[in-house]
Structures are given as C-alpha cells and as structure tokens.
Amino acid sequence: MAEDRIKLEIIKTGPLPLGAWASEGGVRFCISAAAAGETTRLVIMEKKTGETIADITMDDYRVCGNICAVFVGGIRAEDIFYAYYQGSEIIEDAYGLKLYGDGSWERVQTPKERCFYEPCLEDLSVFAEDVRPQIADQDLVMYKLHVRGFTVHSSSKVRHKGTFAGIGEKADYLKTLGINAVVLMPVVDFPQIQFFTVSPAGPGKAEEVKTVLNCWGYGPAQYFAPKSSYAAFDPVREFQEMVVTLHRKGIEVILELLFDEKTPRQTVLDCLRHWVYYYHVDGFWVNSEIVPVNIAFQDPMLAGVRLICRDFDQNMASGESGGRARLMYSDDSFMHTMRCFLKGDDNMLWAFTRYHLHSESACPQVHYMTSNNGFTLADLVSYNEKHNEANGEENRDGTDYNNSWNCGIEGKTRSRKVMILRRRQMLNAMIMLIFQQGVPVIYGGDEFGNSQQGNNNAYCQDNDIFWLNWRDLKKNERFFEFTRRMIALRAAHPILHPQKIFRQTDYLGCGYPDISFHGRHPWRADMDREQRYIGIMYCGAYAGMAQQPDQSFYFAYNMYWEKEDISLPPLPKGQCWRKIVDTFEEEPLLEKGCLVEKTNENIEIGPRSIQIYISEKQPVKAEEAGDEKNTVR
C-alpha cells in the first residue's frame, strides 16, 4: 500500500474549522461524524495513482461532541483527494471545500463522484489590497445574472466563456451600465443533472428513474464549494479574483444562496461566514424559511453584510444597525403591481404611487420587474402566454401568472406598429423600475432586449434559449443607451434616490412638499379605479444629505391607450421646466430638451408613454439681457 512508503503522522486536533484544510506539513480533516454505533472512516487517496494512502477511523479521534478531527502529516494537499465512508457507503462531506475530478460542464459527475474532495489552502493573499465597496442602500443598482449563461455564448467575446473569470472580463461593461452590485444565481457546486423517480403509469409497470438538467443550480449542493465547472482554472482562486476585480470597479458581489430544507441551521450559518471570510462576498439573497435570519442578523462575522429575504421580524431592522447585518426585504409584489400598471389594468394607480413614496417595511426594499423565474423584459411585452414546450413537460411547468401583454400579436412579428409599441413599453418598464423608492434589480440581458422565446422557466435550457446573445447589444444599442442614461440620471440626482422617506408635506417651509401627485389639476390626482395617468413631482430642496438643493423633477405617466392632458405644476419664480425624456417619441432621449416656460396649462402626453421634466433657471430673454447689460451699477 501507498501508506507503507509514506510516513504518516496522525494527530488528534481541535474541533474547528470543519472541512479539509492544508497547512504546513500536511492536511487537517474535520467532520461531524455519525451518531454512536456507526463508524465514520476517512479515506485519503493519491491523485496520480488513485491508490489509498490512509484509511482512518475518525470515531477514534472525537474531540468534542460528534466532531472528529485529525491532522495528517507527511502529505501535500495538491497530491491527494479524499472521501468519507460509513460502512461501505460513501457519504458527502457537508463542509467539502472543493470537489475533486473533472469539473468541466460537459463532464457530468455521478452522485458517487461528487463525494470525492480536495483539501483547500487557506490563502487570502489575493485580498491583500481588496476594499469592499459598501455602497449606501439608496445608491444601489443591482444586476442579476447566471454565471454560465452570462458569457458562454460565442458573441460574449470574453476569453474564458461561462466562468467566474468571464464575469471579471465584463466588469467594465457592468460599470459602464451603472451597476454597483451583481446578484449571482447559485455559484455553489450543484449537480447539474438531477435524478428523480417516476411512479408507474399502470399496473405491472416498474418505476422509472429520469434525469433533468438543472442549469440554474437550485436545490441540494456543496454549499461551501464554488462550482468547478464555472471556473477556467482553480474554482477557489478564480472566484476570489473575480470578487477582487468587481470590487475594484466599485461593484458589490451578492450570492443567491437558497439552502435545501434539510440543511441544518448551524451549517447554514457556518456557510454564510465561510463565503464572507474566504471569498469577501458582500451579501446574500436567502430563503428565510431555512436561514435563521434573526440569528444571522446579529452574528459578528456578518456585520455589514447584506441579507436579502422575506418573512423576518422587521422590528430588527429599526433603529441603529451598526455592528449587525444589513437587512433588505424583497418579494414579488412590486413586480406584479408594475406589470399590471404597465399594461393598463384597472385599479392599479394607488398601488403604483405607493412605491414612489417610501418603503412600507422598516428596512430597504429590493425591487425587480423580471427575473429568471418568469419572462425577460422583451418577452414580457411580446407574449401573453408562456411557451415552455422545449422543457419537455408539455408546457405545464413555469408560472401562469405573468401579467404580460403581447401588444397585439403573440411572439415574433414584422408589424411595425406592434414593434414600436413593444419598444415603448420596454422604455416605460425600465423607467418604472429605476425611478422608485427601493433598490432596482435589472435582470441580466434586459438592458439590450434579451429574449427567451417566450420560455418563462428556462431552468433546463443550456442553449441559445437561456444564454445571453451579445449580438442583441448592437441590435438594441439605443435601448441599452437609454437604460444607461436613466441609471446615470438616478445616480446624479439625490432627490431621485433619497436617504430619507418622503412625507408628502412641506416640512422645510419652501412652498412645496417633498413629493406631490397631480392629475388634470395641479396638486390633485384622480385615483379612481379607471384612471391610468398621474404626474409625480419631486422637489429638489429635499435632496437629503446633499450639500446643496437638487433640481426638481416631474414624471408624467400615462398607461391609457389614448393621449391624456396632465397638469404641470408651477415652479418658483426664475425657474422653468425642461422636458428631457418622452417615450412616445422615436428618440425618447431629448438631447436639448423641450423648454416649458408656462405652467398654467396642461401638457399633452401620448398613449402608453412617460415624460420626464427637470427644473432649471429661466433663460434670460434678449431684451432683458440688453437692459441688464446697460444698467449702471
């Protein structure tokens, strides 16, 4: 045996941390063993030959409770891999840090192969000069993406397609768009092939074992290990380098980490700490029915880390949060409200305006209009029904509650009228998402009109249906530029993303409330269930912590299918409105803008469109300029 020629030194050691960690002279192994009566064995194998180097009964090295730990000297981490057994059955190491074997996407590992692991080296040198961005909540603009789907298409033009390194190569693109936080769909090492048993359809027939491709990565996984097939090289180092690259661009990294219901709470907490310490991630989007949020919120290792979830005691988020995690709330209510208002449903105006006032929760709200679980933005305005036939489930999978509208024709069309309307609806949707009192989340590819051909549940589509086609960026360059400019407009004006909530009162005594709503008459909005238009004014004097007052803004929304007249409220003397955006126009970004000096008359807004106005100084007329020039002072 290999152990005859290798002098091993096996020493009982302390109980933490769990997992297999390399250190000088050997490797330390630590596992929570089975209950008394069941023997847990550690088998260490040589990479070159596959020979067993050591077979250690871990129960002989119990150090605290069920924790068993040994230091094995005389081996090098890079030369070995290991597995745990109970009797003759191979078992998972819940704290496995890196899977062993061919981690390429094309090479699917069997359940047994997924129980072989490599030790990890505790090397944090890559973070020597890393600085966490720590973006203020009100300044966040998030972008959700799938690591493989984001860059695996040949059109992505990155060197390492479908990998963590590929995301790093797109960091400049994200920065240009105005993104300062990325939300990564599962990056933990999940099995992309899931096995399930189908009951017999009739008497005398045997059960069938079927497989399905799990492209998204939700479900049971090795929660401590970055996915090997998402890496061009070593997954641990590559993920760390991706984080550092994004941090240098001022972009936070947030992991969507939805734990399996069988995951112990202690393992969940250890996992969150692990990703924060060893990978410098900035936050997690978690399932609060599994994650003990009330405990994680107060964990000292998670202080300052974002926890995005729902169904938690929001009283925890009230008051000072120093030294604690940064709780953020999210659910689907914003998405459904905005989609219904966008397509012109009855009785949506009140709910729509609520999201422009303030968060109803004690902590910041995270809002999205599209996500992987549903239509993309382009499909939201192109399909009334889901089209998931390619998934092989007879179109029964995926949600039927889409609140979408195809603008008159289902799917692809050459109708210029329909295409113009769809484009306008996409412009409207992006404005609704970006300019609300919450943290907007753009779903990857929406900024350039990515389509999934009507598939609203592309979990098993590792192909052109799900992958981002970057050629669409050139085809829809004007929409991308519109999105980029809207994000930049939001970032440049504190009144559009204030630190304090709006009160709808003139608490500064400046003659204007911080936010006001208008209809056909100024200061008075008609909230009847049939109404689909409203004007919203943001008074720049209430820009919060800004050193000087901001400009004021007026947003006119009309989701009715006919044009409407809406009042434009008067500004203080010496100021006037300039229209800078009109989604009804072929070129919605009005470079020079349209000056509106008189505000005692209503403005006309086209059907299903939005206009944005900004306040500025009243221009000096020629005769007045001449009088001023000739005045003796």
User: Is 460:378 a contact under the CB 8 Å cutoff?
Assistant: no
The per-residue pLDDT for range 344-402, each reduced to its tens digit, is 999 999 999 999 886 556 688 999 999 999 999 999 999 999 999 999 889 999 999 99
Q: What is the mean pLDDT of residues 460-487?
A: 97
% pLDDT > 70, the chain: 91
Q: Residue 380: in which H helix or E strand, if any?
A: helix 377-380
pLDDT at 257: 97
Torsions phi, psi for 508 (to 5 deg) = -95, -10
**The predicted structure's pLDDT at residue 37:** 60
Please give the Cα distance from 577 to 454 (Å, whole number).
Answer: 41
Q: Are 520 and 514 in contact (CB under 8 A)?
A: no
pLDDT of residue 2: 47
Q: How many CA atoms lie within 13 A of 330 on its CB side?
A: 22
Q: What confidence category does residue 108 fall into, taking pLDDT thresholds of 50, 70 and 90?
A: confident
> Which DSSP letter does residue 398 get?
S
Mean pLDDT to the nearest integer, 12-30: 93
Q: Higher-confidence residue: 492 or 6?
A: 492
The reported pLDDT for the residue numbered 387 is 98
Residue 545 pLDDT level (bands cut at 50, 70, 90): low
- Report if pTM > 0.75: yes
- Higher pLDDT: 379 or 546? It is 379
Give 60-97 pLDDT, tens digit per residue. 999 998 999 999 999 999 999 999 999 889 999 999 99
CA 323 to chain centre: 24
Is 60 exceeded by the pLDDT of residue 121? yes
Distance (Å) of CA 238 to CA 98, 185, 187, 350, 355:
13, 17, 12, 47, 39
Average pLDDT, the chain: 91
Least confident of 158-167, 169-178, 505-514, 540-549: 540-549
Work out the pLDDT band at 591, boundaries 50, 70, 90. confident
Is 633's pLDDT higher than 50? no
Q: Where are the beta strands (DSSP E) in 150-190?
A: 181-184, 188-189
Per residue in 133-153, pLDDT (tens digit) is: 999 999 999 999 999 999 999
